[in-house]
């Protein structure tokens, strides 16, 4: 699939590149980034993406709040993050330049569409003078190109209005960058042909703009170098590029297939979780029912109803939605019904930062209900891992008859990575094990007791309506042990509270030991994380190791219960660092449960943690723990260092 | 009324319990009585409704295990514990949403919601109106005692303005809901009102509600002897009820009041409903003063809910001295749950659940789709 390289231009080999496309919300930057990513995936590079867009659908045009961007990091080797700082910025207007310039290292390449650098737009972006004139950008390699003007020229023959014609400028930019990095173009051709099949003029204009952008790179003297990043060596298998929300949707469908249960999603639209509702609504062929409810509470209520009726109840939301669903989740805990609750976390509290990432709902997931209300909590570590974690959430919910909270976040939801497509034989089989017989007493006196538990899992029987002889009533009032009738007995309540806790605790028996990555076995410092910080932590750890120091890394998928050996692992290390995008929620849990003095590193900026920052934090802790000086100054060939 | 003869291509409508398995075994009220002790206050209207429901359910001839009662929170919401069917006593106001999940998941279940004026109209108002507009196949029994009982006597969203309660010592300030008007405004396809103490009428309304495919809302006036005793005395007392109850029977002229002994309208009530030309609504007149042809004939099946709404406005919002009773509206339109199952059935095209291998192949094709590449 390697594109043909025009001979007259110099070709430079690179091992990795970080490109950020930035423009106005209406400029189609997410689409541009997504197409570039697909081309890159098809080419075989490893990659990680970071979309970043405002909560407003169309913030005032040309302003800083209206800037939308898409960052893609791709390499000829295994990478873990979307990169700390872009090597290349494509800025479609003054606001996009101004909003992103601060993130660029010296020497970075900037490609600017000069068309919008008018007095009015400069003022809107807060510039008092045109930054393209003068020495303001002298430390960068700036290419000023009239992308819009050339796009309009390139699509002239299709007779579009000037406005429609200029809208294809993102495809011109994509064509130019595709040329520059030798991306294969077939997928974009096919995509445009399909997407605009019903509007031939627009389709042809976009294709023409894309080709014009490519040809411009090839012929102009503005760009004298193109770059080659060889495909990455990855584990054998079939791959596709996948976002967290898509992988999570597929995981829920797979959970339905593996358990033989029809999936019932009750949901209310909320950023950044809505795409899961959109995706599942397309897969009714798998027996999936999607119910867009009147509110968050009705979404979870209908899911609980569906579970009572024998389906796999699922509800998807973000933090504010969890707040609304709390009482209903408590009902699912009391009635001990399977339920998967997906929380795609975003910045909080309240409405917070709807489109930005954060992991500050951990304690809400753990404790955000009245009474002693334990439930299992799991978290994926990367976009592709959302698939496995969703399957695991289904396994826990069905096996243990309990609501499970899955904590994804905005970064995982919208970010993407190449994903090795698993074989179905790698997935667990999940047995709903519906009750069909009376389970208490024998002969004439036999009865069905809805709270007579499985000795091993402590799960109660799941008897669904339509099963003769097992008619029973459940509800939010405390249940008598075994028979399940209402009970206000003090000793019974104490017993039931402890039993519900014990049931969740027993899940730990089914978990594998915590994987600890400690290649030298000599590390004194362990870095422990959960959720989407896996990438930046891993990249930071690699950097410290490359500089010659020892550090161990472990990442938790199960946050409740913790793996059985976690306490023992923590005690093996002198210092434990816990980086989180919150003010120390996992730290609090670890300190409370294991009496270990973990060290937190905490940021709540609405953005993923940066590998370079984490490397420094780890380095300092290694220095302290080992009583040595740590110097992380990068050598020339190091990866992930920025 | 003109007869509708045009074939609009609308599918034949089915009854509410048509897809629920039936039994030939003889059932009695006892079969539907659970072993749990009923714990309402002595004299509570809920007892009468429970008895009526227990003796009515055998008439449906459905398999007991295919009946589900769902309730929210409040005195009446204890109802499912006393019925030997499947049941869930859920959380405050949310029963319609839980029932929506059950009814959508399972065509073969007869789904009932038991709720009260606080549960359905205050904390759960949103779920009620959306269940009604979606027309999910379920029957909602709304016990209206116009007071909060379980929390010991605060005013409810159906209490009359000025009600002195524990939380409103100087009188309540809010204007009450009229549950029937609310339901009609929420696009309900079946709306009825009945009275706890009138077993015969209650049973006939339950039968009509169960037969209706879609969301049936049944408001049941129910006396709370502890916190709001006498709220419905006017419509229950033999001396006053003839003037208080406006009986609605589809296809019958609407009369009430003392029966006329003689004259051309002999046998009919002394009062009648006629259209009010000035307001566009309806008004009460003396039967003797109007021509027979001017008396409003009740049409519960009218596609236009205007007249049903106008009749519902004759309910007193203060102390109850007058109230129409019966089926206000019963029209057929597609149900949400049928349509949702139809979409799934269309999409899965007969393959799902029949063949595990096919399902696995579909899953493999799904997750292995899109732009893929292979690393050897």
Query: Which of A183, A438, A471, A472 is the best residue to mutate to test the B interface, defined by the most B CB atoms within 10 Å of its own CB?
Result: A471
Q: Does B150 have pLDDT greater than 50? A: yes
pLDDT band, residue A637 (cuts 50/70/90) = very low
Taking alpha carbons only, the member of B3, B8, B1 closest to residue B333 is: B8
Q: CA A180 to CA A12: how far, in whole Å? A: 10
pTM: 0.93
pLDDT of residue A500: 98
> pLDDT per residue over A53-101, tens digit each?
888 877 889 999 999 999 999 999 999 999 999 999 999 999 999 999 9
Which residues on chain B are in Cβ contact (under 8 Å) with A301? 90, 94, 97-98, 100-101, 127
Strand-strand pairing, B255-259 and B86-89: unpaired
> pLDDT per residue over A550-583, tens digit each?
999 999 999 999 999 999 999 999 999 999 999 9
Q: Does B355 have pLDDT greater than 80? A: no
Q: Mapping DSSP to helix (H, G, I), strand (E, B) and coil, where does residue A595 land?
A: coil
- Residue B293 is given by DSSP the state G
> pLDDT per residue over B38-77, tens digit each?
999 999 999 999 999 999 999 999 999 999 999 999 999 9
Spatial contact of A51 and A33, defined as CB atoms under 8 Å apart = yes
> pLDDT per residue over B330-344, tens digit each?
999 999 999 999 999
Determine whether the interchain pair A38/B371 forms a contact, defined as Cβ–Cβ distance below 8 Å: yes
From B272's Cα to the closest Cα of chain A, the distance in A is 41
Report the percentage of chain B scoring pLDDT > 90. Answer: 89
Taking alpha carbons only, the member of A336, A295, A282 closest to residue A313 is: A336
pLDDT of residue B4: 47
pLDDT band, residue A1 (cuts 50/70/90) = very low
Q: Does B1 have pLDDT greater than 90? A: no
> pLDDT per residue over A129-144, tens digit each?
999 998 999 999 999 9
List, edge to edge, every strand of the sheet that includes B245-248.
A473-475, B86-89, B67-71, B110-116, B138-144, B215-221, B190-195, B323-330, B245-248
Class of residue B5 by CB neighbours under 10 A (exposed 0-12, middle 13-18, buried 19+): exposed
Q: CA A73 to CA A505: how far, in whole Å? A: 40
Per DSSP, what are the bridge partners of residue B190? B216, B330
Determine whether the interchain pair B102/A306 forms a contact, defined as Cβ–Cβ distance below 8 Å: yes
User: CA angle, corner A639, sides to A633 and A642, nearest 5?
Assistant: 60
Q: CA A387 to CA A419: how far, in whole Å? A: 10
Per DSSP, what are the bridge partners of residue B294? none
A-contacting residues in B 304-333 (Cβ below 8 Å):
none
Q: Where is average pLDDT lowest: A36-40, A50-54, A114-118, A395-399?
A: A50-54
- Residue A608 is given by DSSP the state P
pLDDT of residue A641: 39
pLDDT of residue A7: 53
Compute the half-sphere exposure of residue A321: CA atoms within 13 Å on the CB side of its CA. 31
- How is residue A568 written in tokens? 């023992």
Q: Does B9 have pLDDT greater than 60? A: no
Taking alpha carbons only, the member of A640, A587, A588, A583 closest to residue A613 is: A640
Full 3-state SS string of A210-268: HHHHHHHHHHCCCCCEEEECCCCCCCCEEEEEEEHHHHHHHHHHHHHHHHCCCEEEEEC
Compute the half-sphere exposure of residue A611: CA atoms within 13 Å on the CB side of its CA. 23
The number of residues making up chain B comes to: 376
Q: Does B233 have pLDDT greater than 50? A: yes
Determine whether the interchain pair B368/A313 forms a contact, defined as Cβ–Cβ distance below 8 Å: no
Q: CA A306 to CA A262: how far, in whole Å? A: 10
Mean pLDDT of chain A: 95
Determine whether the interchain pair B375/A328 forms a contact, defined as Cβ–Cβ distance below 8 Å: no
From B253's Cα to the closest Cα of chain A, the distance in A is 39
Residue B330 belongs to what H/E stretch?
strand B323-330
Residue recorded with tokens 């950008």 = A137
**Cα dihedral across residues B2, B5, B9, B10: positive or negative:** positive
Chain center to CA of A581: 14
ipTM value of the model? 0.95
Which residues on chain A are in Cβ contact (under 8 Å) with B349? 285
Tally C-beta pairs within 8 A across A and B: 223
Mean pLDDT of chain B: 94
pLDDT band, residue A640 (cuts 50/70/90) = very low
Mean pLDDT of A33-55: 92
Q: Does A507 have pLDDT greater than 60? A: yes
> pLDDT per residue over A288-304, tens digit each?
999 999 999 999 999 99
Residue recorded with tokens 């393959």 = B351
Query: Which of B32, B105, B351 is the best residue to mutate to test the A interface, defined by the most A CB atoms within 10 Å of its own CB?
Result: B105
Report the percentage of chain A scoring pLDDT > 70. Answer: 97
Which residues on chain B are in Cβ contact (under 8 Å) with A42? 371, 373
CB-nearest partner of A239 from B64, B103, B372? B372
Q: Give every CB contact of residue A199 below 8 A, 6+ residues apart in sequence.
A: none
A-contacting residues in B 288-307 (Cβ below 8 Å):
none
pLDDT of residue A55: 82
Q: Does B135 have pLDDT greater than 70? A: yes
DSSP sequence for A187-211: HHHHHHHHHTTT-HHHHHHHHHHHH
Other Cβ atoms within 10 Å of B258 Cβ, number: 10
Mean pLDDT of A494-503: 98
Determine whether the interchain pair B89/A424 forms a contact, defined as Cβ–Cβ distance below 8 Å: no
pLDDT of residue B354: 55
Q: CA A313 to CA A296: how far, in whole Å? A: 14
Q: Does B353 have pLDDT greater than 70? A: no
């Amino acid at each position: 699939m390697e594109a043909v390289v025009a001979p007259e231009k110099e070709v430079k080999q690179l091992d990795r590149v970080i490109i950020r496309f930035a423009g106005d919300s209406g400029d189609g930057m997410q689409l541009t980034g997504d197409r570039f990513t697909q081309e890159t995936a098809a080419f075989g590079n490893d990659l990680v993406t970071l979309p970043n867009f405002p909560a407003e659908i169309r913030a005032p045009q040309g302003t800083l709040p209206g800037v939308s961007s898409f960052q893609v990091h791709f390499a000829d080797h295994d990478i873990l993050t979307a990169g700390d700082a872009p090597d290349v910025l494509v800025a479609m207007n003054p606001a996009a330049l101004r909003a992103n310039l601060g993130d660029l290292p010296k020497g970075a390449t900037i490609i600017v569409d000069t068309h919008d650098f008018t007095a009015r737009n400069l003022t809107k972006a807060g510039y008092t003078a045109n930054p393209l004139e003068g020495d303001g950008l002298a430390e960068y390699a700036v290419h000023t190109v009239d992308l819009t003007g050339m796009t309009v020229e390139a699509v002239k023959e299709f007779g579009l209005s000037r406005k429609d014609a200029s809208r294809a400028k993102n495809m011109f930019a994509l064509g130019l960058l595709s040329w520059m990095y030798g991306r294969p173009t077939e997928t974009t051709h096919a995509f445009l042909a399909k997407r605009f099949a019903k509007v031939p003029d627009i389709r042809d204009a976009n294709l023409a703009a894309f080709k014009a952008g490519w040809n411009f790179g090839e012929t102009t003297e503005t760009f004298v170098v193109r770059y080659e990043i060889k495909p990455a060596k990855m584990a054998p298998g079939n791959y596709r590029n996948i976002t967290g929300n898509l992988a999570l949707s597929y995981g829920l469908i797979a959970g339905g297939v593996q358990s033989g249960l029809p999936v019932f999603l009750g949901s209310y639209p909320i950023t950044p979780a809505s795409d899961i509702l959109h995706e599942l609504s397309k897969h009714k062929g798998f027996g999936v029912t999607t119910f867009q409810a009147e509110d968050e509470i009705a979404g979870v209520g209908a899911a609980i109803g569906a579970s009572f009726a024998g389906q796999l109840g699922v509800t998807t939301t973000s933090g504010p939605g969890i707040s609304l669903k709390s009482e209903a989740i408590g009902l699912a805990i009391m009635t001990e019904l399977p339920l998967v609750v997906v929380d795609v976390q975003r910045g909080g509290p309240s409405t917070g930062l709807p489109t930005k990432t954060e992991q500050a709902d951990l304690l809400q997931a753990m404790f955000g209900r009245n009474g002693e209300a334990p439930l299992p909590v799991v978290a994926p570590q990367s976009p592709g891992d959302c698939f496995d974690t969703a399957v695991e959430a289904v396994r826990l919910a069905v096996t243990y008859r309990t609501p499970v909270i899955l904590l994804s976040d905005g970064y995982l939801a919208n970010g993407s990575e190449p994903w090795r497509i698993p074989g179905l034989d790698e997935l667990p089989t999940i047995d709903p094990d519906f009750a069909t017989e009376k389970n208490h007493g024998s002969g004439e006196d036999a009865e069905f007791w809805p709270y007579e538990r499985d000795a091993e899992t402590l799960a109660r029987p799941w008897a669904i309506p339509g099963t003769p002889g097992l008619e029973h009533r459940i509800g939010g009032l405390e249940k008598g042990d075994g028979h399940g009738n209402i009970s206000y007995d003090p000793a019974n309540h104490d017993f039931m509270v402890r039993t519900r806790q014990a049931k969740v605790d027993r899940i730990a028996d089914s978990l594998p030991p915590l994987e600890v990555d400690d290649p030298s076995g000599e590390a004194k410092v362990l870095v422990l994380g959960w959720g989407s910080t896996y990438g930046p932590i891993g990249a930071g750890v690699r950097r410290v190791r490359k500089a010659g120091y020892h550090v161990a890394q472990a990442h938790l998928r199960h946050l409740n219960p913790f793996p059985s050996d976690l306490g023992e692992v923590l005690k093996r290390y002198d210092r434990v660092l816990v980086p989180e995008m919150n003010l120390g929620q996992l730290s609090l849990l670890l300190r409370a449960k294991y009496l270990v003095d973990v060290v937190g590193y905490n940021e709540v900026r609405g953005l993923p943690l940066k590998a370079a920052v984490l490397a420094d934090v780890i380095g300092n802790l290694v220095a302290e723990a080992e009583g040595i000086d740590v110097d992380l100054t990068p050598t020339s060939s190091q990866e992930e260092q920025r | 009324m003109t007869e509708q003869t045009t074939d609009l291509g609308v599918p034949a409508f089915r009854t509410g319990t048509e897809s629920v398995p039936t039994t030939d075994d003889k059932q009695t009220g006892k079969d539907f009585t659970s072993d749990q002790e009923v714990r309402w206050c002595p004299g509570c209207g809920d007892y009468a409704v429970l008895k009526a429901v227990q003796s009515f359910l055998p008439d449906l001839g459905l398999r007991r295990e295919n009946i589900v009662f769902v309730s929210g929170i409040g005195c009446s919401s204890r109802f499912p514990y006393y019925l030997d069917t499947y049941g869930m006593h859920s959380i405050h106001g949310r029963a319609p949403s839980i029932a929506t999940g059950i009814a959508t998941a399972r065509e073969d279940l007869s789904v009932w919601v038991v709720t009260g004026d606080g549960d359905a109209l205050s904390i759960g108002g949103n779920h009620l109106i959306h269940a009604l507009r979606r027309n999910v196949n379920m029957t909602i029994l709304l016990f209206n005692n116009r007071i909060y009982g379980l929390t010991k006597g605060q005013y409810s969203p159906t209490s009359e303005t000025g009600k002195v309660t524990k939380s409103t010592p100087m009188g309540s300030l809010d204007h009450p809901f009229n549950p029937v008007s609310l339901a009609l405004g929420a696009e309900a396809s079946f709306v009825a009102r009945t009275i706890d103490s009138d077993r015969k009428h209650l049973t006939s309304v339950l039968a009509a509600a169960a037969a209706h495919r879609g969301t049936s809302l049944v408001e049941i006036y129910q006396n709370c002897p502890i916190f709001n005793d006498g709220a419905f005395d006017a419509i229950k007392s033999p001396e006053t009820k003839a003037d208080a109850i406006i009986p609605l029977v589809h296809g019958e002229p609407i009369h009430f009041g003392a029966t006329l002994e003689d004259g051309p309208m002999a046998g009919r009530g002394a009062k009648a409903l006629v259209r009010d030309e000035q307001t566009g609504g309806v008004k009460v007149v003396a039967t003797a003063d109007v021509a027979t042809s001017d008396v409003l004939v009740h049409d519960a099946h009218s596609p236009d809910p205007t007249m049903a709404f106008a009749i519902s406005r004759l309910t007193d919002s203060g102390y109850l001295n007058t109230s129409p009773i019966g089926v206000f509206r019963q029209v057929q339109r597609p149900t949400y749950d049928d349509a949702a199952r139809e979409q799934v059935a269309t999409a899965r095209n007969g393959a799902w659940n029949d063949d595990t291998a096919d399902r696995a192949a579909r899953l493999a094709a799904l997750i292995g789709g899109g732009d893929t590449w292979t690393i050897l």
